[in-house]
Amino acid sequence: MPDYFALVDAGTTSIKAGIVESQRFKVVREKSEKTEVVHPKEGYAEKDPEFLWEQVKSLLAEIIEGYEVRAIAFTAHMAGFVPVDRNGDPLFNMVIWLDERGKGYPEDLFRDFPSISGYSPLRLLRFLRITGGAPSKTGKDVLPKILWMRDNEPEVFSRTWKFLDVKGYLIYRCTGKAVTSHDEAHLTWLADTRRNRAEWHEGLMRDYGLKPDLFPEIMNSTDVAGFLDESVSKELGINRVPVVVGAGDMCTTAIGSGAVENNRIHIYLGTSDWIGAHVDKRKADVKHYIGTILSGIPEKYLLVAEQEIAGGAIDWVMNILNLKDYEKVDEIVKMTETDLIFTPWFFGERAPIDDHYIRASIFNLSLKTGKDEMLRALFEGVAMNIAWAYHFVEKMTGTNESVRITGGGARFDSLCSIIASAINRKVVRTAKPEHAGLRGLATIVNTAVNGESCQDAVKRFEHEREFHPDAQQHKNLQNKLEILREYYRKTAGVFKKLNRGVL
Q: Is 373 exposed, middle or buried (CB count within 10 Å of its CB: 0-12, 13-18, 19+)?
A: buried
Is residue 251 situated within a structural domain? no
DSSP string, 410-438: GG-HHHHHHHHHHHTSEEEEESSGGGHHH
Residue 255, amino acid: I
What's the confidence (pLDDT) of residue 354?
Answer: 86
Peptide bond before residue 106 is cis, with ω within 30 degrees of 0: yes
- Asked whether 270 and 386 are in contact (CB, 8 A), the reply is no
Q: What is the three-state SS of 431-488?
A: CCHHHHHHHHHHHHHHHHHHCCCHHHHHHHCCEEEEECCCHHHHHHHHHHHHHHHHHH
Q: b/e string for 33-46 if b means 16 or more Cβ within 10 A?
A: eebeeeeeeebbbb
- Domain residues for the domain of 382 are 258-499
Is residue 252 situated within a structural domain? no
Which residues are CB-neighbours of 325 under 8 A, at least 6 positions away?
none
Is residue 403 situated within a structural domain? yes
What's the confidence (pLDDT) of residue 502?
Answer: 56
The CA distance from 202 to 217, in Å, is 14
Query: Which residue intervals of 37-106 are DSSP H helices?
Result: 49-64
Answer yes or no: do 168 and 272 share one domain. Answer: no
Q: What is the CATH number of the domain that holds 339?
A: 3.30.420.40
What's the confidence (pLDDT) of residue 115?
Answer: 78
Is residue 196 situated within a structural domain? yes
**Nearest 5°: phi and psi at 420?**
-55, -45
What's the confidence (pLDDT) of residue 108?
Answer: 93
Of 246, 266, 289, the residue at which a domain comes to its end is: 246
- Asked whether 468 and 420 are in contact (CB, 8 A), the reply is yes
Answer yes or no: do 44 and 184 share one domain. Answer: yes
What's the confidence (pLDDT) of residue 377?
Answer: 97
DSSP-derived letter for residue 287 is: G
Answer yes or no: do 221 and 269 share one domain. Answer: no
Is residue 253 situated within a structural domain? no
351: helix, strand or coil: coil
Of 225, 246, 267, the residue at which a domain comes to its end is: 246
Q: In the chain, how many domains are there? A: 2
Which residues are CB-neighbours of 57 under 8 A, at least 6 positions away?
232, 235, 236
Answer yes or no: do 133 and 178 share one domain. Answer: yes
Of 246, 272, 306, the residue at which a domain comes to its end is: 246
Answer yes or no: do 227 and 373 share one domain. Answer: no
Answer yes or no: do 211 and 298 share one domain. Answer: no
The DSSP element (H or E) to which 405 belongs, if any, is strand 402-406
Answer yes or no: do 115 and 187 share one domain. Answer: yes
Answer yes or no: do 204 and 290 share one domain. Answer: no
Is residue 242 situated within a structural domain? yes
Answer yes or no: do 138 and 281 share one domain. Answer: no
Point out the residues of the chain with pLDDT beneath 50: 503
Answer yes or no: do 408 and 475 share one domain. Answer: yes
Answer yes or no: do 124 and 179 share one domain. Answer: yes
Beta-bridge partners for 192: 199
Taking the alpha carbons of 14, 157, 246, 300 in that order, is the dihedral positive or negative?
positive
Span 27-85, pLDDT tens digits: 999 999 999 999 999 999 999 999 999 999 999 999 999 999 999 999 999 999 999 99
Which residues are CB-neighbours of 37 under 8 A, at least 6 positions away?
12, 13, 45, 46, 47, 96, 98
**Nearest 5°: phi and psi at 170?**
-65, -40
What's the confidence (pLDDT) of residue 501?
Answer: 67
Q: How far is CA 219 from CA 29, 67, 68, 182, in A?
A: 29, 28, 26, 6
Answer yes or no: do 203 and 297 share one domain. Answer: no
